[in-house]
Amino acid sequence: MSLIHIENLTKHFKILNRREGLRGAFRDLFSGDYRTVEAVAGISFDIEPGEIVGYIGPNGAGKSTTIKMMTGILKPTGGILQVNGLVPYDNRIRQAQTMGVVFGQRTQLWWDLPVIESFRIMKEIYKVDQKMFDRHMDMFNELVGLKALYSQQVRTLSLGQRMLCDISASFLHNPQVVFLDEPTIGLDISVKAKIRSVIQQLNREHNTTIILTTHDLGDVEALCQRIIIIDKGKILYDGDIKRVHALFGAYRTLKLQIDDFTEATLRTLTEKLSGRFGAGHGITVAETEESWTDVTIDQARTPLSDVLSFVMSSFAVEDVRIVEISMENVVRKVYDGALK
Amino acid sequence: MKAYLAMMRGAYMIGLVYRFGFLFSIAGNLIYMSITYFLWRSIYQDRETLRGLTFDETYIYVALGSAVFILLKTYVDWQMSYDIREGMVAIYLTKPLDLQLYELFTSLGFALHALTTVTLSTFLLLIFVFHIEIPLGIGLLLFPFSLVLAYLVSFCFDYFIGLLAFYTESVWGLSITKEVIITVLSGALIPLQFFPEVIRKILLWLPFQAIYYTPLTMVAKPNLGWETFLPMLGIQLFWVAALFALTRLFYNQAVKVLRISGG
């Protein structure tokens, strides 16, 4: 039996229609003018033990709402939702014992106290016995160097350190499933990489199921075999990451700022690139903003470094940026039928 | 249970982290006690008693009243509305914890801190600075029990307002209103003896007097005897049980409307 079973799940919110200005605010005091927002509009999926599932989508897609229903905080409006065969909302306290949750933008640690105190409190909350506690604390120490932070007040930790502590804490009681909601938000690349590897090792340690919501496609690429894309409360794609990978994984966009840019430059650039790399090279050139040229490269066919060194040697390039394809682009491509 | 005690300990430690808060609360208490001292001195002038209370009895009542006031302010309503608005409540709800007990025990941690700073310092200031003789009697013995019950009643009011934040998000106006009502009707500001007879009788039927009037009377007039004190404790106990049950029922309703936006 699957660990999480979701069938036609919906969640509606009633939201007061606010009016503008001070006068509007006063009138709102007595307003009964509500509209219904469908945050989750009928989704279905199953998650098996030990999976790491990327649950992604743009802002306001319904990711967090789904997580909050799975953790038993929010009551679904309709549909079936079972974790371990139980309905989370009706068995919140029992269910919580088998779950770990990290909300990237909030901490579960005690802000004013040294790090170790939060772990001690969590130990009591989850009734973790001393043996398991010691074993896990040693493991966290190996993974993230936790011991060095024991006596530090949580509020004085850097965002990356805090996140590593938060993630560790959510694994303390050896939960069956851990929900990681935006665990890499606001972190720089090296810290992100660290967090990803820690998540991976924690998943392996006890075959913990992990549900990861994120904005960062890099997280998903590094961690998940399966990906669920949600937008406007509906599932757009649920399946192997490899197919989605074709959409964004191999593509990088090289943004170039070329000296003395004219219409002709764009043409010569296109010609020279196809001359150098031949047909079927998977390179497209487009002018975007004032004097910036986007060269999108399919790395499966042409290495980015080759293109970059070729362009640098042939043109007077003032500035270069390399960007990954964005979440919004992926969602747009899926809408356009890229995965059909 | 150990979990809740661990959180109480954590909350107590937070109180100690902010050392200056500790010192200033004692200083503030001293200033307040001086002002009320001179105020009631001038009200009494040369009179021995007013409404059956001597100056010492009234002053103990009022000064201790302010100390108890600080002790019994749980701030649970403010904390809960903040947590609900900021979405922090999601974190508590993903833990195997009962929200009511969680709020109770963390607030007890802070209260314990207030007890060791403000309430104790008030007793010491009363005795050594203002030279008030605290009369001995069984009331003094029962005072700690009564204080615990008073705390629980006060907590229920604050928790109730906090639960309203599930509906309104902000509880600023509600909290202020609650504060005013409790301060006046509980005898925190003025002993109930100074109220007109009819109002006083009504007030004794309401839960507010269980917060201040009951424990303070036990210190101010400790020799009223068991036959007076035991029913008073019984009434307190009744209100604790009733309000705990009611707020639990209300929680089941309130948590349904929870919506946490963003993040």
Can you tell me the mean pLDDT for A153-182?
A: 94
Contacts of A97 in chain B (CB under 8 A): 96
- Residue A248 has a pLDDT of 66
Q: How far is B258 from chain A (nearest CA, A)?
A: 7
Contacts of A96 in chain B (CB under 8 A): 93-97
- Mean pLDDT for all residues in chain B: 88
CA distance A99 to A111: 22
Mutate to test the interface with B, among A40, A103, A128 (most CBs of B within 10 A): A103
Burial B208-247 (b: 16+ CB within 10 A, else e): bbbbbbbbbbbbbbbeeeeeebeebbebbeebbeebbeeb
Chain B window 82-111: which residues touch A at a Cβ cutoff of 8 Å? 86-88, 90-91, 93-98
Question: Which of A218-222, B181-185, B230-234 has the highest average model confidence (pLDDT)?
Answer: B230-234
CA distance B250 to A188: 45
Give phi and psi for A46, each to the nearest 5. -125, 145
Can you tell me the mean pLDDT for A219-227?
A: 89
Would an 8 Å CB–CB cutoff place A154 in contact with chain B? no
Q: What is the pLDDT of residues B60-116, one digit of tens each?
A: 888 888 888 888 888 999 999 999 888 888 899 999 999 999 999 999 998 988 888
Q: How far is A290 from chain B (nearest CA, A)?
A: 35
List of domains in chain A: 4-247 (3.40.50.300), 250-324 (3.30.70.260)
Q: How far is B122 from chain A (nearest CA, A)?
A: 28
Chain A window 74-103: which residues touch B at a Cβ cutoff of 8 Å? 74-75, 92-94, 96-97, 99, 101, 103
Inter-chain residue contact A13 with B259, CB threshold 8 Å: yes
- Residue B155 has a pLDDT of 96
| Residues facing residue A45 across a β-bridge | A6
What's the predicted TM-score (pTM) here?
0.83
- Residue A308 has a pLDDT of 86
CA distances, A253 to each of A297, A307, A308 (Å): 6, 11, 11
- Residue B21 has a pLDDT of 76
More confident residue, A95 or B190: A95
Q: Is the ipTM of this complex over 0.85?
A: no
Computed on alpha carbons and rounded to an integer, the radius of gyration of chain A in Å comes to 24
> Taking 80 as the threshold, does the pLDDT of residue B133 lie above it?
yes
CA distance B150 to B73: 11
> Taking 60 as the threshold, does the pLDDT of residue B261 lie above it?
no
Would an 8 Å CB–CB cutoff place A112 in contact with chain B? yes
